Amino acid sequence: MPGFWKHTGEIAARLAARPLLVTLDFDGTLAALAETPDKARLTPEYRTALKALVKLPGVKVFILSGRALPNLKKVVGIPGIYYGGNHGMELEGPVFRRLDAHVMRARARIAATVQEIAERFPPGTGVMVENKVFSASVHYRCVKSPFRTSFRRHMAALTCSAPAGLRWSRGHKVFELRPEKAPDKGDAVLMLARRLKTASVFAAGDDLTDEDMFRALAGLGVTLRVGCRHRTKADYCVRTQKEMLKVLRFLAKI
């Protein structure tokens, strides 16, 4: 996979058209991965870099995350940004708000399933079950050694029999339960790009769910994977999350 820094001239030329939509994942891209989602932080340096991008004429910033929309807005908290929560099911920006109608109908099923899952992983196992209203996450980064075998057994059973209308997917140390027909990150970035009538798009992410936007933007934008060891549909990569600060400053400069 081509390294980002060896192709900056080409990238700058591909992103020359305005308006430009800069789409960024949060955990693992703008913020370092943490043991649990509540411990992830946007550092002052990244906050400053994002604010600089937002102020530029002809540039729109879109933060697109698996987090629930209220949580994402809370951890970022920068006016003028477009936010996408639950992998694109919830969208909100300076001039609009959109919630996919299909996922609204899945709330009761999600809530019931979260309760069932939580009973399998009580406090003390190190497993965190998160109800994000329109989806659910089972975080196992901190699962304790005595419970690892039972965790794998329980998740194998759960993923083999998802409730009607729901589906399981995987991410970094997390299982995600979402409505079957829910929009993904690829759908979300294309929809917003059309709505804003953008002429060029940049998108960066580090997880399996970000591959959806990499595929959607193939031939249409510039895509960047954080981490160069993975098979990916992204155009370029940087090795570590720490390099993303330099990427944001590069985007502001061009």
Q: Count of CB atoms within 10 A of residue 240's CB?
A: 11
What is the reported pLDDT for 105?
Answer: 84
Q: Tokens standing for 110?
A: 């999600």
Strands annotated E in 57-135: 59-64, 82-85, 90-93, 96-99, 128-131
**What parts of the chain have a pLDDT lower than 50?**
none
Q: Tokens standing for 187?
A: 């759908």
Say if CB 141 and CB 35 are below 8 A apart. yes
What is the reported pLDDT for 21?
Answer: 98
pLDDT digits 0-9 by tens, 189-218: 999 999 999 999 999 999 999 999 999 999
**Domain annotation for the chain: domains and CATH numbers:** 4-99+183-253 (3.40.50.1000), 104-179 (3.30.70)
DSSP assignment, residue 162? P
Distance, C-alpha 161 to centroid of its chain = 25
What is the reported pLDDT for 190?
Answer: 97
pLDDT digits 0-9 by tens, 104-132: 888 889 999 999 889 889 889 999 999 99
Per the annotation, the verdict on 27 as an active-site residue is no
Of the candidates 25, 27, 206, 235, the residue annotated as catalytic is 25
